[in-house]
A and B are shown apart, each in its own frame.
Chain A
Amino acid sequence: MIEVDNLHKTFQSKSGPVHAVRGVSFRAPDGQITGLLGPNGAGKTTTLRMLYTLMTPDKGSVRVDGLDAHRDATAARQRLGVLPDARSIYKRLTARENIEYFGRLHGLDKATIARRIETLAQTLGIDFLDRRAEGFSQGERTKTAIARALVHDPRNVILDEPTNGLDVMTTRSLREFLQRLRAEGRCVIFSSHIMQEVAALCDRIVVIAGGQVRAIGTPDELRATTGESDLENVFVRLTRSESES
């Protein structure tokens, strides 16, 4: 379970401070998929980076399974599987070596790593384990990166725009994979800027725009609050109301 309370983050830029995240709070319970939905530049990636301890919030707190993510960063990281926005794999290593490397950094032993790789390869459909990553397709790279992120069997999984650049077939198998993670009782958070994708998968949607939470609820609840039946209109309504206010 991941609990986020009143996160704030400001960056210094040449044109003055940019308040990227201003007071984001939500709860992502175990056994559910929570979608972070928002247009480009809404503060999704910054929020997620604070969730997986890469950035320290200026204000507010993140709790992973009850652990404070910033006072207890190492313990929190062990419970998190992270697919960041920047997720290149090492080109000169094989898919297996890429996954193994992260397994070792998580302190796993050889046998455990080998077992996990078999399981993940099966569920993700990785049949290219011993090929060098040079020349992998986008889908193969993403699958390797996801396997690498989950090698330590984490309870909580955070994925930043996982379907970016994937074709329909790969997106569909990724969707099945996320549903499987949910069925296993894990807490899954993923971000996207595509309303349909989020609606098809998520139990709960957190709509973010301009660094703030615009709405939280199930897809149906969001339809009801906005009075729109078309998902795209729901999204447009929710994110635009922010820029007008």
Chain B
Amino acid sequence: MRTVFIVARKELVDLFRDRRTVALSLLLMPILFPALILGAVGLAESKARTQLEKTLRLPVIGAEHAPNLIRFLRAQNIEAEPAPEDPDAEVRAQTFDAVLRISPDFADNWRSSRSAQVELIYDSSREDSRIPVARVRGAIEQYNRTLAVLRTMHRGMSPEVLQPVRIAQRDVATPESKRGMLLAFLPYLLILSSFLGGAYLVIDVTAGERERQSLEPLLATPASRSAIMSGKILAAIIFGMLSLSLILVGFKVSLAVAPGSLRIVNPSWQLLFQLLLVLLPMVLIGTTLLTLISASVKSVKEAQSYMTVLMLLPMVPTFLLMVNPIKNQLWQFTVPFLAQNQLILRLVRGETVSFEEWAVYIVTSLVLGLILWIAAARLYHQERLAISA
């Protein structure tokens, strides 16, 4: 046990003397991640605001057939303009968000109180035209209702005949669950940085030390190999947790100074602490897995080539949940990455996590960490580990 602390202390001293590397890995993420998330959210918000408030220029085909509608649209801040030759192609080419076509028989139908047809041409697969299209559609529907009310009243009927059912909407989203929506990317970023945050350190202290030819004298000391390995793992876990804490504090600080709707989602210290608790087993799993890899490969380069695959792993549950959202069930807390993903989302949304769920999560991930640790220790005891190429 003493050996573990001796090795961990030496590795941390050694690491922290490498000022530039430490500064980059400890400070870059806490600045970059919040900037990324806040930047993305902020950008989306400001774009939505401009799309909602700016005068919308809408190409209209056959504007002359419905001057009243055009006037109504202008009152709704939608300005009609001459339409292009081939509206379908232009919309597909993203020149316009939407094009309105008013059929030539609009006026005739209108006068005889039949349904007059307008056609809205848009591309439903385009995310950024959603708001303009909704604006146009909303304006036309409002025009529709106004006219319907006028016509029924004109015929001496109550306008309520037109509304057999009336929908009242109530959004039960709490500020916390809106926070969850805003921070949809948070789980992936946190899981990735806990899983691979200390990666280069882990690779360096095993594969790197072997490549630099200092592992052989180290293993020739009476200190047990498992203890030496555990010391290296402990150092990486301490470093990983430090880096995660800084990232979380970075989030808290930047949310506190963030503009607009993000201000309301300022996380509490208790939440940050719970997030750290969720991520601790992930750090353990990542570190032991990388130690296992580093002890089995011939060089640092070979160890690093595993990184691409490892970076994709935490994405799997995020994608699965995006395509196929599943309700919370107990078994999910046993699956690495999925468990962290669900737990982080629930904590951030302000939902409670039961004792049972915590227990299942902590126990299964510690068991997984232990299995990886044993496997890595076995490799550490192999003869060829000490022998530098």
Contacts and interface: CB of A to CB of B under 8 A. Distances in A.
Contact of B222 (A49, A78, A92): A78
A117 to B, nearest CB: 16
B220 A52 contact: yes
B335 interface: no
Interface in A79-129: 80, 82-90, 92-93, 97, 101-102, 104-107
A53 interface: yes
A149 interface: yes
Contacts of B3: 105
A54 B214 contact: no
Contacts of B223: 105-106
A33 interface: no
Contacts of B10: 90, 93, 97, 101
Contacts of A93: 10, 13-14, 17
Interface stretch (B164-172, B250-258, B381-389): B381-389
B216 A86 contact: yes
B14 A90 contact: yes
A218 interface: no
A54 B6 CA distance: 21
Contacts of A148: 217
A101 B6 contact: yes
Given A49-B387, A92-B18, A87 B213 contact: yes
B220 A54 contact: yes
B222 A88 contact: no
A82 B222 CA distance: 11
B220 A104 contact: no
Contacts of A82: 217, 220
A149 B217 contact: yes
Contacts of A85: 216
Interface in B62-96: none
Nearest to A46: B387
B212 interface: yes
Contacts of B228: 105
A145 interface: yes
Contacts of B222: 74-75, 77-78, 105-107
A87 B387 CA distance: 11
A55 interface: yes
Contacts of A106: 221-223
B386 A54 contact: yes
Contact of A53 (B13, B18, B218, B220): B220
A132 B13 CA distance: 12
Contacts of A102: 217, 221
Contact of A88 (B6, B213, B219): B213
A179 interface: no
Given A101-B6, A101-B10, A104-B6, A86 B214 contact: yes
A131 B382 CA distance: 35
A56 interface: yes
A98 B214 CA distance: 11
B2 interface: yes
Nearest to B210: A86
A72 to B, nearest CB: 11
A106 B227 CA distance: 13
A55 B383 CA distance: 6
Contacts of A149: 217
A18 B222 CA distance: 29
A86 B217 contact: yes
Contact of A77 (B215, B216, B220, B388): B220
A101 B228 CA distance: 12
Interface string B346-389: 00000000000000000000000000000000000001001110
A89 B214 contact: yes
Contacts of A53: 220
A85 B213 CA distance: 9
Interface in B5-40: 6-7, 10, 13-14, 17-18
Contact of A105 (B6, B18, B213, B216): B6
A105 B13 CA distance: 16
B13 A97 contact: yes
Contacts of A104: 6
Contacts of A75: 222
Contacts of B14: 90, 92-93
Contacts of A74: 222, 224
Contact of B217 (A56, A84, A107, A132): A84
Interface in A130-150: 132, 145, 148-149
Contact of B383 (A52, A56, A90, A145): A56
Given A53-B220, A78-B222, A97-B13, A88 B214 contact: yes
Contacts of B213: 86-88
A19 to B, nearest CB: 16
Nearest to A81: B220
B11 to A, nearest CB: 10
Contacts of B219: 54
B250 to A, nearest CB: 27
Interface string A40-57: 000000000100111110
24 contacts: A49-B387, A53-B220, A54-B220, A54-B383, A55-B387, A74-B224, A75-B222, A77-B221, A82-B217, A83-B217, A84-B217, A85-B216, A86-B213, A86-B216, A87-B213, A88-B214, A92-B14, A93-B13, A93-B17, A97-B13, A105-B221, A105-B222, A106-B222, A132-B17
The 6 closest A-B pairs by CB, nearest first: A86-B213, A92-B17, A88-B214, A77-B222, A105-B223, A105-B221
Interface of B: 2-3, 6-7, 10, 13-14, 17-18, 212-224, 228, 383, 386-388
Given A49-B387, A87-B216, A93-B14, 9 more contacts: A52-B220, A56-B383, A80-B220, A83-B217, A84-B220, A87-B214, A92-B14, A105-B6, A105-B223
